[in-house]
C-alpha cells in the first residue's frame, strides 16, 4: 500500500538553490558583505533573480522596488498560551530572541529559494514545507524585519531601543483603523512573484506560534516602466525626489545616525501609512485641478513652471499676477526637502467593509460612482525609510494642516518600526539586540 | 502662465500601440478571426504581449493563465439616477446595449495598449485617461464579459437568454457572503501586470455610471512553474485534469452546445466560487491526511496508486485489505469526469472582516494560529468554464455531501454568468443579444 504511507519530510526534494553574482559577492568577506547590498541592483536583470540576505543593511531597502509587497504586522503575546500566566519581561525577551533566530534562518533560506527547516512542532508525518512555490524561482524575494516601540518595552529592552523610535502622533484628519495600524513586529516581504511571497508569508507566520499573533497584513503592487518613475493610482509619478542608491544623500537619508546605540548602526526606520484615494472623485477633477493639487504636471512629472521631472522645484516663482506658480497648498510644498526614501506600493482591496450588500441596494438606484456606505479601498501603501522619523512627523503635520491633496485622500493606517541592521553569515537578527 | 493652463485631452500622448502576430492574424479575415484565438498561446512568448480581442470566442478563456485576475461584478440599476423613477425593461435594455457598445470599444483599446475614448461626461479640461499604466505594456491583458441571469430578465430579454443559464442552487455547507456573490454583469480582467489591470478596471468601471453600480471585486494571482501545472495555496496542483486547448474535448467541454440560441454560438458559462482555505489547519495535517483528502500525492500530482500526474485515476483499485486505494471521500472522486475547464486563481485578502482588533486582544494570549474571531481570508477563486452548468451543479452537490476536503475549505462566494461569444471587428458585445 505505498499510497497510504505518509510522505515523510526526507522524501520532499529540496527546491533548486538559486545563486547570484551578488550573493557570491556578499559572502566574500567584509567588503563583499557591503558590496552585497550595492550589487542588489544589477542582480535584477540577471538570469537568477536572488537578492543577498546578508549585508551591512537589511535587504529590501536600497534596491529597485519589486512588483509586489506584503506588509505583515504581529503583536507579541503577553501571556503564556497554555497556562494563561502573564509573562515576565525576561520570558518575553527569551521568546523574542528565539523567534528572531528562527526567522533569520527561515528568511535567509526562502530568499535563496531553498526550503526552510521544518517547524519544530512538525513530525516526520508532516510535509516539511508548504510546496506553494515549488518550481518557482525566488524572483527577488526579500524579507525585511521591523520592530515597533512596544516590542522593546515588553521585552524589557527599552534602554537598548533605537533613540529616535517613537510612536507616531495622531495627525489631524487621520481616520485610522487599528486593523491595519501599529504592531510590535513587522515583516516587509517583497518580490516579483506573489505566489512566492505567499509561501514566504505562510512559512514565516508558522514560526510565531506561542510568541506572537498576526495583527494585520496589507498587500501592494507596483509596476515600474522601463527607465521611468513608477506611477500611483492617481496616475502621478511617485518617488521622483528619491535620492539615488549610490549617493551620499541616500546614506544620510536612510541609515541610522551616529547618536544611535552601536548595535543599531546600519539600521533605519520604516514609516507605514495606508492612504486611501478617492479615485472616482479624482478622475472627475479637471487636469488643472489635479496638477495644482500635486504641484506637478501629471504626464511629465515636471514641477509646475518647470520643464522636466528632475528640475528643481521653484517654490518662489510667481506668475504674471504675482501669484505663486506652485500653489500655496500644493502637495509638493509640504514634502520638499524632507529627508526620506519613499518605497511605496499601490493597493486595491475592493470594498472596504466586505459587508453584505443589502438586497434592497438593487433598488436604490444610486450612482455607480458613489459608495459612501461601502467605501472602495484603493490607494497607496506609503512606505518611507528614514534615518530620523522626526522629519517625517514634521512634514506630516504640515500636510495634515493644509494640503490640497487632502480633498482626495484619507489616512487610514499608520505604523512605525525600527529596522535593525543587516546581519553577516552565521549571525541573526537577535544578535545586536540581545548583545 | 503655462503651468496654470489645463492640460487638455489632445495634449496627452497616446500610449504606444502594441501589436502582435496574433493580432495581425485576427484581423486578416474570417479564418484569421478564428486563428486569433488559437494564436493567443504563441503570443505569450513573443516580445509584444498582446492578446487579440476579436475572435470567435472571447479572450481570456482558451489561453494559458495570466499571473493576475480581478473579477468585477456589477448590478444593473432599476431606477433612473436623477428622477428616481423605475425604468421600463426597454429603458434598461437601451442602457445595457449602450454600455456593451462602449465596453467593447474600451476593452478592445485597452487590450492592445491604446487609450480608450474619453468618457462622454468629460470635457477638454479633463485628462483623457487615467495614466496609471502609462509606459507599461499590456502584458497579456484580457477583458472577458459575463452576464448573470437577472440581467436578461431586467432587460426583458428572458426569451433570448442562453438555455442553460440558471441560478446556482444553495449547496449544503455553503456560507455565502452576498458581498462577493451574484451579479448582473461580470468583467474578468486578467493580465501579467496588476497595475495595467488596475487601470483597465478603473477605465471600464467609469463607463457604467447611470447604468449599473459596482457590486463586488475579487483579486487573484497564479504563478505557473515552467512546463508544470500551477499549485494552489494548499500546495497541490490545480487544473491537472484540464483538457488541452487544441483538443476536441476542450471545445466540447467549454463552448456552447447546439441547442443554444444562435446568437450564443461560441459562448460559454463561467462558474465562480470563492473557496476559503483553512491554511493553518491544513499545514498541521499530516502528509498522508492531505494526500488522502485530495486523492493525489501532493508533490508529484499523481493519483494515489499511480506514478505520474497524467496517469488515469483508478477509482476501483483496492489495497491489500480490500480498501479503496483512493479513499471513498477523496476530492478527486467528486470531480472526475466532470466536463469543465478550470481557470482558477489563488487569493489572499488577509483578515476577512478588516474589523478593529480590540486593544485587549493584546492581552488575550491566544494562539497565533487560531483566528476564529477574525478569519483569515485566503484560498482559491475557483473559476470554471463549462458548456453546461448542470454538470458542475451535480458535481458540487456530490462534493457538498461528502468530500474529505470540506474539513479544510469553506465556500463563501458563488456566481454564474453566461459568457457571450467573441466579436469580429466592427461588432460589439451588444450585437447578438439585441439582434
Rounded to a whole number, what is the distance in Å from the CA of A323 to chain B's nearest CA? 10
8 Å CB contact of B127 and A84: no
- What pLDDT sits at residue B147? 98
Nearest beta carbon to residue A363 from set B79, B225, B236: B79
* Residues 6+ positions from A362 with CB-CB distance below 8 Å: B75, B78
Q: Is B286 on the interface with A (CB under 8 A)?
A: yes
- What pLDDT sits at residue A371? 39
- What pLDDT sits at residue B141? 98
- What pLDDT sits at residue A237? 95
Q: Tell me which residue range forms the domain holding A74.
A: 64-121+128-356+368-430
Q: Residue B197 has which C-alpha cell? A: 489591470
B15 within a domain of the structure (yes/no): no
| Higher pLDDT among residues A364 and B310, named by residue | B310
Express each pLDDT in B313-352 by its tens digit. 999 999 999 999 999 999 999 888 899 999 999 999 887 5
Q: What is the mean pLDDT of residues A84-110?
A: 97
What number of other Cβ atoms are within 10 A of residue B268's Cβ?
27
Q: Is B246 on the interface with A (CB under 8 A)?
A: no
Q: What is the mean pLDDT of residues B47-63?
A: 91
Eight-state DSSP code of residue B10: G
Least confident of A65-79, B15-29, B70-84, B88-102: B15-29
| Higher pLDDT among residues A99 and A398, named by residue | A99
Rounded distance between C-alpha atoms, residue B293 and residue B290, angstroms: 5
Q: What is the mean pLDDT of residues A208-225?
A: 94
Indicate if the pLDDT at residue B74 is higher than 60.
yes
Q: Residue A11 has which C-alpha cell? A: 522524501
* Residues 6+ positions from A62 with CB-CB distance below 8 Å: A37, A38, A40, A245, A250, A254
pLDDT band at residue A194, thresholds of 50, 70 and 90? very high
Strand partners, A144: A188
* Residues 6+ positions from A121 with CB-CB distance below 8 Å: A209
Q: Is A158 on the interface with B (CB under 8 A)?
A: no
Rounded distance between C-alpha atoms, residue B426 and residue B258, angstroms: 26
Say if residues A264 and A431 touch (Cβ distance below 8 Å). Answer: no
Residues in chain B: 435
Rounded distance between C-alpha atoms, residue B317 and residue B398, angstroms: 21
Nearest beta carbon to residue A367 from set B5, B194, B209: B209
| Higher pLDDT among residues B266 and A369, named by residue | B266
| Cα dihedral sign, A301-A302-A307-A310 | negative
Cβ neighbourhood burial of A135 (10 Å; 0-12, 13-18, 19+): middle
Per residue, the 3-state secondary structure of chain A, as one string, reads CHHHCCCCHHHCCCCCCCCCHHHHHHCCCHHHHHHHHHCHHHHCCCCCCCCCCCCCCCCCCCCCCCCEEEEEEEEECCECCCCCCECCHHHHHHHHHHHHHHHHHHHHHHHCCCCCCCCCCCCCCCCCCCCCCCCCCCCCCEEEEEECHHHHHHCCCHHHCCCCCCCCCCCCCCCCCHHHCCCCEEEEEEECCHHHHHHHHHHHHHCCCCCEEEEEEEEEECCCCCCCCCECCCCCECCCCCCCCCCHHHHHHHCCCCCCCHHHCCCEEEEEEEEEECHHHHHHCCHHHHHHHHCECCCCCCECCCCCCCCCCCCCCECCCCCECCCCCCHHHHHCCCCCEECCEEEEEEECCCCCCCHHHHHCCCCCCCCCCCCEEEEEEEEEEECCHHHHHHHHHHHHHCCHHHHCEEEEEEEEEEECCCCCCCCCCHHHHCC
- What pLDDT sits at residue B351? 75
Q: What is the mean pLDDT of residues B91-106?
A: 97
Indicate if the pLDDT at residue A218 is higher than 60.
yes
Residues in chain A: 435
Give the nearest chain A residue to B293 (CA atoms). A4
Percent of chain B predicted with pLDDT > 70: 84
pTM: 0.87
A418 within a domain of the structure (yes/no): yes
Express each pLDDT in B232-291 by its tens digit. 999 999 989 899 999 999 999 999 999 999 999 999 999 999 999 999 899 889 999 999
Rounded distance between C-alpha atoms, residue B368 and residue A206, angstroms: 8
Give ipTM to 2 decimals. 0.85
Residue A69 with chain B: CB contacts under 8 Å: none
8 Å CB contact of B351 and A216: yes
What number of other Cβ atoms are within 10 A of residue B105's Cβ?
15
pLDDT band at residue A352, thresholds of 50, 70 and 90? low
The DSSP H or E segment spanning B214 is strand B212-221
Residue B4 with chain A: CB contacts under 8 Å: 288, 292, 304, 319, 325
A169 within a domain of the structure (yes/no): yes
Rounded distance between C-alpha atoms, residue A72 and residue A188, angstroms: 6
3-state class (DSSP) for residue B291: helix
Eight-state DSSP code of residue B420: P
B407 within a domain of the structure (yes/no): yes
Q: What is the mean pLDDT of residues B30-59?
A: 56
What number of other Cβ atoms are within 10 A of residue B278's Cβ?
18
Indicate if the pLDDT at residue A421 is higher than 60.
yes
3-state class (DSSP) for residue B374: coil
Instruction: Supply the angle between the helices B89-111 and B194-206 in degrees, to the nearest 10.
Output: 150
Q: Residue B387 has which C-alpha cell? A: 458548456
Indicate if the pLDDT at residue B27 is higher than 60.
no
| Cα dihedral sign, B319-B321-B324-B330 | negative
Query: Measuring CA to CA, which residue among B421, B93, B89 is closest to residue B261?
Result: B421
Express each pLDDT in A324-337 by its tens digit. 999 999 999 888 88
Rounded distance between C-alpha atoms, residue A351 and residue A175, angstroms: 17
Query: Measuring CA to CA, which residue among A346, A408, A301 is closest to residue B7?
Result: A301
Rounded to a whole number, what is the distance in Å from the CA of B102 to chain A's nearest CA? 16
3-state class (DSSP) for residue B378: strand
A10 within a domain of the structure (yes/no): no
Rounded distance between C-alpha atoms, residue B110 and residue B197, angstroms: 10
Indicate if the pLDDT at residue A192 is higher than 70.
yes
Indicate if the pLDDT at residue B193 is higher than 80.
yes
pLDDT band at residue A132, thresholds of 50, 70 and 90? very high
Nearest beta carbon to residue A206 from set B12, B74, B283: B283
Say if residues B345 and B220 touch (Cβ distance below 8 Å). Answer: yes
- What pLDDT sits at residue B67? 96
Query: Measuring CA to CA, which residue among B383, B408, B111, B402 is closest to residue B279?
Result: B408
- What pLDDT sits at residue B350? 82
Most confident of A6-10, A239-243, B193-197: B193-197
Nearest beta carbon to residue B287 from set A8, A136, A378: A8
Express each pLDDT in A40-49 by its tens digit. 333 333 345 8
B47 within a domain of the structure (yes/no): no
pLDDT band at residue B435, thresholds of 50, 70 and 90? confident
Rounded distance between C-alpha atoms, residue A136 and residue B229, angstroms: 11
Cα angle A293, A296, A299 (rounded to 5 degrees) comes to 115
Percent of chain A predicted with pLDDT > 70: 84
Q: Is B198 on the interface with A (CB under 8 A)?
A: yes
pLDDT band at residue B133, thresholds of 50, 70 and 90? very high
| Higher pLDDT among residues B14 and A15, named by residue | A15
| Higher pLDDT among residues B193 and B15, named by residue | B193
Cβ neighbourhood burial of A158 (10 Å; 0-12, 13-18, 19+): exposed
Eight-state DSSP code of residue B4: G
What number of other Cβ atoms are within 10 A of residue A312's Cβ?
8
8 Å CB contact of B348 and A219: yes
| Total domains in the fold of chain B | 1
Q: Residue B412 has which C-alpha cell? A: 463563501
Rounded distance between C-alpha atoms, residue A1 and residue B382, angstroms: 32
Side-chain-facing half-sphere of B213: CA atoms under 13 Å: 24
Mean pLDDT (chain B) is: 85
Indicate if the pLDDT at residue B162 is higher than 80.
yes
Residue A83 with chain B: CB contacts under 8 Å: none
Percent of chain A predicted with pLDDT > 90: 71
Give the nearest chain A residue to B132 (CA atoms). A235
The DSSP H or E segment spanning B157 is none
Express each pLDDT in A374-395 by its tens digit. 578 899 999 999 999 999 999 8
* Residues 6+ positions from A247 with CB-CB distance below 8 Å: none
Express each pLDDT in A242-301 by its tens digit. 999 999 999 999 999 999 999 999 999 999 999 999 998 998 899 999 999 999 999 999
Interface with B, mutate which of A350, A370, A380, A381 (most B CBs under 10 A): A350
Rounded to a whole number, what is the distance in Å from the CA of A336 to chain B's nearest CA? 19
B10 within a domain of the structure (yes/no): no
Beta strands in B46-101 (DSSP E): 68-76
- What pLDDT sits at residue B428? 95
Q: Is A118 on the interface with B (CB under 8 A)?
A: no
Express each pLDDT in A29-38 by its tens digit. 322 222 223 3
pLDDT band at residue A373, thresholds of 50, 70 and 90? low
CA B211 to mean position of chain CA atoms: 22
Nearest beta carbon to residue B299 from set A7, A283, A354: A7
Q: Is A298 on the interface with B (CB under 8 A)?
A: yes
8 Å CB contact of B320 and A6: no
- What pLDDT sits at residue A375? 77
- What pLDDT sits at residue B36? 27
pLDDT band at residue A234, thresholds of 50, 70 and 90? very high
Indicate if the pLDDT at residue A369 is higher than 80.
no
Number of H helices and E strands in chain B, helices first, is 12, 9
Alpha-carbon separation of residue B383 from A18, B61, B243, B413 (angstroms): 33, 10, 15, 11
Eight-state DSSP code of residue B131: -
Q: Residue B315 has which C-alpha cell? A: 477509482
Side-chain-facing half-sphere of A29: CA atoms under 13 Å: 1
Q: What is the mean pLDDT of residues A66-74?
A: 97
Q: What is the mean pLDDT of residues A103-126?
A: 93
Indicate if the pLDDT at residue A5 is higher than 80.
no
Residue B71 with chain A: CB contacts under 8 Å: none
pLDDT band at residue B129, thresholds of 50, 70 and 90? confident
Q: Is B319 on the interface with A (CB under 8 A)?
A: yes
Percent of chain B predicted with pLDDT > 90: 71
A212 within a domain of the structure (yes/no): yes
Q: Give me Rg for the CA atoms of chain A.
A: 23
Rounded to a whole number, what is the distance in Å from the CA of B252 to chain A's nearest CA? 32
- What pLDDT sits at residue B177? 86
Residue A362 with chain B: CB contacts under 8 Å: 75, 78
Eight-state DSSP code of residue B15: P
Q: Is B3 on the interface with A (CB under 8 A)?
A: yes
Indicate if the pLDDT at residue A13 is higher than 80.
no
- What pLDDT sits at residue B22? 37
pLDDT band at residue A434, thresholds of 50, 70 and 90? confident
- What pLDDT sits at residue A402? 81
Give the nearest chain B residue to A127 (CA atoms). B287
Residue by residue, DSSP assigns B228-267 as S--B-TTS-B--TTPPPTTSHHHHHHHSPPTTS-GGGTT-
Q: Give me Rg for the CA atoms of chain B.
A: 23
Rounded distance between C-alpha atoms, residue B147 and residue B165, angstroms: 9
Indicate if the pLDDT at residue A17 is higher than 60.
no
Mean pLDDT (chain A) is: 85
- What pLDDT sits at residue B352? 59
Amino acid at each position: 500500500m505505498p499510497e497510504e504511507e505518509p510522505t515523510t519530510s526526507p522524501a520532499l526534494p529540496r527546491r533548486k538553490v538559486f545563486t547570484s553574482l551578488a550573493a557570491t559577492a556578499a559572502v566574500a568577506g567584509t567588503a563583499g558583505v557591503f558590496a552585497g547590498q550595492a550589487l542588489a541592483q544589477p542582480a535584477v536583470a540577471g538570469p537568477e533573480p536572488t537578492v543577498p540576505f546578508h549585508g551591512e543593511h537589511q535587504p529590501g531597502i536600497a534596491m529597485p522596488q519589486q512588483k509586489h509587497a506584503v506588509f505583515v504586522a504581529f503583536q507579541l503575546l503577553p501571556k503564556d498560551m497554555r497556562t494563561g500566566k502573564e509573562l515576565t519581561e525576561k520570558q518575553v525577551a527569551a521568546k523574542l530572541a528565539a523567534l528572531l533566530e528562527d526567522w533569520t534562518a527561515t528568511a535567509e533560506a526562502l530568499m535563496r529559494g531553498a526550503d526552510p527547516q521544518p517547524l519544530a512542532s512538525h513530525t516526520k508525518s508532516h510535509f516539511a514545507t508548504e510546496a506553494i512555490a515549488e518550481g518557482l524561482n525566488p524572483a527577488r524575494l526579500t524579507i525585511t524585519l521591523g520592530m515597533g516601540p512596544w516590542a522593546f518595552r515588553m521585552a524589557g529592552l527599552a534602554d537598548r531601543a533605537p533613540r529616535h523610535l517613537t510612536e507616531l502622533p495622531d495627525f489631524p484628519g487621520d481616520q485610522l483603523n487599528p486593523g491595519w495600524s501599529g504592531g510590535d513586529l513587522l515583516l516587509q516581504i517583497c518580490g516579483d512573484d506573489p505566489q512566492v511571497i505567499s509561501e514566504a508569508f505562510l512559512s514565516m507566520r508558522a514560526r510565531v506560534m506561542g510568541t506572537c499573533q498576526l495583527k494585520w497584513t496589507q498587500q501592494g503592487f507596483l509596476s515600474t516602466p522601463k527607465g521611468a518613475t513608477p506611477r500611483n493610482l492617481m496616475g502621478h509619478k511617485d518617488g521622483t525626489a528619491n535620492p539615488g542608491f549610490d549617493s551620499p544623500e541616500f546614506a544620510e537619508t536612510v541609515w541610522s545616525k551616529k547618536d544611535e546605540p552601536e548595535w543599531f548602526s546600519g539600521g533605519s526606520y520604516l514609516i507605514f501609512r495606508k492612504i486611501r484615494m478617492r479615485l472616482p472623485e479624482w478622475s472627475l477633477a479637471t487636469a488643472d485641478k489635479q496638477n495644482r493639487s500635486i504641484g506637478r504636471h501629471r504626464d511629465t512629472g515636471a514641477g509646475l513652471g518647470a520643464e522636466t521631472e528632475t528640475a528643481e522645484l521653484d517654490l518662489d516663482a510667481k506668475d504674471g499676477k504675482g501669484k505663486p506658480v506652485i500653489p500655496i497648498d500644493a502637495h509638493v510644498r509640504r514634502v520638499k526637502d524632507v529627508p526620506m526614501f519613499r518605497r511605496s506600493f499601490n493597493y486595491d482591496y475592493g470594498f472596504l467593509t466586505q459587508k453584505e450588500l443589502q438586497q434592497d441596494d438593487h433598488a436604490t438606484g444610486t450612482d455607480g460612482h458613489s459608495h459612501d456606505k461601502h467605501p472602495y479601498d484603493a490607494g497607496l501603501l506609503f512606505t518611507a525609510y528614514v534615518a530620523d522619523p522626526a522629519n517625517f512627523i514634521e512634514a506630516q503635520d504640515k500636510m495634515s494642516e493644509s494640503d490640497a491633496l487632502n480633498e482626495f485622500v484619507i489616512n487610514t493606517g499608520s505604523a512605525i518600526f525600527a529596522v535593525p541592521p543587516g546581519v553577516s553569515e552565521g549571525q541573526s537578527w537577535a544578535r545586536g539586540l540581545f548583545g
